[in-house]
Structure 1
């Protein structure tokens, strides 16, 4: 329960004056359960509020609406909430929660900040220097540590647009530490409004994401290497996750089949549309057999191209249980067929014919 509520002020006053719920009920002329509801956050009507405030000897506006309402209305006098065991417990709980939050924030490396738009004041949490390598006291000081390439788009103008849009943002940017090292930062930013809908504060949380960015960069380089190798070798690849019917195809597969990457197949059934109708049944049989036995397959077929021509393709695939054991994946490699591939495809048929002749 917040300290700035009617229920909390009432409970503190009852404890301070050592009043029971029944005594309050008798004084106001209502039932004890009704008073109990007030201490639990229930609403109170105007007449009962005036009688209750008179009995407790406090200003009724303050009792119902708190200090801010009294100040806004210009009411003389200042009613202070007495320090009782309830308030001490509540204060101790707040301090304990704040300490836990600060510790969790420190351990997670999260820096919080707030920009007061009215006073133009910028306040960072105490762990700011650990993240940025220095204390930050103003937006100008923040602009100074930004990487030059990121300061082109993240600047005072961008902050003005943020405030004007009133929409939350997530920014990834680089800073330069005092020793010259570069650190990647993720900042989640939101604009807070007053009751009239006017922006009054910008708040944000920032965290070091350098490790994640390095991993993403390494993965991107690895994928680029694989893609380059596939392009040089002329290999196209696709993978199908059966349960989800999720299909992934490589750029080289698109080139091999003459498919625009913007219209890349997303479902397994769509692959058949790029295969000559007379060859689809044999390919389907090979794939179904591989699925049934979790085995490899090899099939030779004609790929139909957008210009109504066709290309002979060899598809080498395997059906395997997914890493978590809850699905079956098919991964296949496709390439343009060579003369040796065609000879290998006709060899089993020739051997079958020779065996039949011997019988």
Structure 2
């Protein structure tokens, strides 16, 4: 880099800096004072940043009566040089921003510039920034406060201010008294660094405002005691309120995260490095080391059965900078398995690069409860099925004969109601076959009721096999049965059905090695109009049955037969 010595003439050390703080011009005296320098060296190489801010403020005063301040200059060899510096705004064509004129300590200073307003102009330059300037001439016991200093406090420039600590503390919030006293005492008369502290002061309107006070001793006497102190007060009430709201929000968030045992993580997609908070580390069963976690470490925690899917979810979100949501199992160092859910969102950042911010929480209890609910549901379904089965069994028992499993008289009555309900739109007719066994009493008396029960079951099987699928068979008494038969082809169908039943029941029944013989008589009544809607059809079937038995049994008879 090329040196710019002697570019700026004069016996004073002079240096000019661009708006970005880089040195652009200097003379030989400045280069000698700092022990060598090159262009594009940042101003912070020679002067502290806090002091640079004060110099820029002083330089922003056009035609101001600025006498300069004492500062320390850092040399190339690490030593410090006391010097007096006068700042000014550059007059070059947009190249330089700040020009500093240095005089080694003990050398005569340049005469101050004249101004109609003097240093008070600095207050107007700072007013827009809610800053007030104060200047304490300790040697001559003179105080100066800018109009903006008064204005920010709701005071008038004519209001008296004696500048004593006691008077000041009367305006300071009681909780900040000790803090202000300690901050004031910490910066003695020989202090050469900039000090900054914050406190609350009562506004003329009664409210308390937050103030950031920044100051520095700028000149000293021969004994090293400060003779002048310059500084600014800035109203930071809005910032403090924003910080308070942020603390409240952060507190609420922390309570929510703590109550939900939710951990927070951050990912730099460009490096694949995570940052885990303490709760995230707790979930993974690892210590909060305050260190970055690389992706391979995270993947090692994932259960082998979930690793491929979890990694695919993660990589898919990172690839397109989309929202991330995944549920997987992790295995801790002690072998414990946890179910976790992790969700994140991508936040673009033009300065630091994009980041994924996310949360993770342990859902093991939720999964366990879900499993328990599944078991309970399965048990409830089983119990419900058993209940339905029991209800069906009870209903079946109530409507069926327990011996033959045929519908009973109650079921027959329900069936008749159903038939009557649809009879008005049905073109087919209904017939009742009333069947009574012949010689059944003799079987019971001779072979016992157990044999009689077997005969009844045999008769039930015969009737089921000899009627049409849509016919209805019921047992209505000891050895009495009813068949409700729908017919449409006249009485021939009924005759055929009755004949097949009688023929089947004539065959011997072998029970306990003995052949038993029973027969059956059948009375048939047909409905050709709405007569089935009353009890007359059953009565006619009974009469027909009586007629069949009277004619010699083992036969059938129609109700309309002469």
1:276-355 to 2 correspondence within 5 Å? 278=304, 281-282=307-308, 283-293=310-320, 294-304=322-332, 308=334, 310-318=336-344, 320=346, 322=348, 327-338=353-364, 341=367
Residue 117 in 1 paired to residue 142 in 2? no
Residue 128 in 1 paired to residue 149 in 2? yes
Find the counterpart in structure 2 of residue 30 from structure 1. none
Q: Any stretches of 5+ residues in structure 2 without a counterpart?
A: 1-8, 13-26, 30-102, 372-562
Find the counterpart in structure 2 of residue 224 from structure 1. 251
Find the counterpart in structure 1 of residue 231 from structure 2. 204
| Counterpart among 159, 171, 180 of residue 184 in structure 2 | 159
Q: Secondary structure of the residue that 1:206 maps to in structure 2?
A: strand
CA contact (8 A) 1:235 1:253 kept: yes
Q: How many residue pairs were aligned?
A: 263
Find the counterpart in structure 2 of residue 138 from structure 1. 163
Q: Any stretches of 5+ residues in structure 1 without a counterpart?
A: 9-40, 44-64, 73-80, 82-86, 345-359
Distance apart, 1:281 and its partner CA: 4.9
Distance apart, 1:240 and its partner CA: 1.9
TM-score between the two structures when normalised by the length of structure 1: 0.59
CA contact (8 A) 1:315 1:332 kept: no
1:88-130 deviation line (CA, Å, top 9, x unaligned): xx75xx5599686443222222111122333444322122221
Q: Secondary structure of the residue that 2:176 maps to in structure 1?
A: coil
CA contact (8 A) 1:123 1:137 kept: no
Distance apart, 1:273 and its partner CA: 8.3
Distance apart, 1:257 and its partner CA: 3.6
Find the counterpart in structure 2 of residue 186 from structure 1. 212
Distance apart, 1:169 and its partner CA: 1.6
Distance apart, 1:194 and its partner CA: 3.0
Distance apart, 1:316 and its partner CA: 2.3
Summarize the Cα distance change of 1:226–1:167 in structure 2 as closer, same or farther, 3 Å threshold.
Answer: same
Q: Secondary structure of the residue that 1:162 maps to in structure 2?
A: coil
Residue 107 in 1 paired to residue 128 in 2? yes
CA contact (8 A) 2:276 2:293 kept: no
1:174-227 deviation line (CA, Å, top 9, x unaligned): 012244311000111212243754422222111111111001110110111111
Q: Secondary structure of the residue that 2:178 maps to in structure 1?
A: coil
1:23-75 deviation line (CA, Å, top 9, x unaligned): xxxxxxxxxxxxxxxxxx999xxxxxxxxxxxxxxxxxxxxx9xx989x9xxx
Find the counterpart in structure 2 of residue 12 from structure 1. none
Q: Secondary structure of the residue that 1:127 maps to in structure 2?
A: helix
* Structure 1 CA distance for aligned equivalents of residues 351 and 145 of structure 2: 47
Larger relative contact order, structure 1 or 2 (CA cutoff 8 Å, min sep 6): 1
* Structure 2 CA distance for aligned equivalents of residues 333 and 146 of structure 1: 43
Of structures 1 and 2, the larger Rg is shown by: 2
* Structure 2 CA distance for aligned equivalents of residues 194 and 279 of structure 1: 75
CA contact (8 A) 2:347 2:357 kept: no
TM-score between the two structures when normalised by the length of structure 2: 0.40
* Structure 2 CA distance for aligned equivalents of residues 203 and 186 of structure 1: 14
Distance apart, 1:274 and its partner CA: 7.9
Q: Secondary structure of the residue that 2:265 maps to in structure 1?
A: strand
Structure that is richer in helix per residue: 1
CA contact (8 A) 1:254 1:264 kept: no
1:142-189 deviation line (CA, Å, top 9, x unaligned): 22211111111212x532321254322211110122443110001112
Distance apart, 1:275 and its partner CA: 2.3
